[in-house]
Amino acid sequence: MKERLEQKSLTRPIQSEWLIEYKVESSNGTEHHLDVIEAFGIKEVQIKLFSQLREKYPSEVRIEVTILMLEIVQNNAEIDLFNTHEDYTP
């Protein structure tokens, strides 16, 4: 049992990128946002989002925020699907 406790204390939480889509209703109307936030967990995502909202809407007394999507960004893209040997031409 003691070994398990020691093992748990050695593991570190991993910081992830969180994709968050939300809309904000303020006195200026409705705005749609899509952000990426780096955080260790959902509580830290919430704290950082509140901080961003305070910076974006400093003069607003009240805003209404609706979270449309919140998920961890997966970093397992298949590189074979991308043609990396040719130049990009629009």
- Tell me what pLDDT residue 13 has: 73
Residue positions counted in the chain: 90
Q: What pLDDT score was predicted for residue 25?
A: 96
* Domain boundary assignment for the chain: 13-35+51-69
Q: What is the C-alpha to C-alpha distance for residues 72 and 33, in angstroms, rounded to an integer?
A: 17
Task: Report pLDDT digits (tens) over 17-52.
Answer: 999 999 999 998 999 999 999 999 999 999 999 999
Q: How many Cβ atoms sit within 10 Å of the Cβ of residue 24? A: 18
3-class SS at 5? helix
Quote the mean pLDDT of the chain.
83
Number of other residues whose CB lies within 10 A of the CB of residue 65: 14
Confidence of residue 9 (pLDDT cuts 50, 70, 90): low
Q: Rounded to whole angstroms, how far apart are CA atoms 85 and 28? A: 46
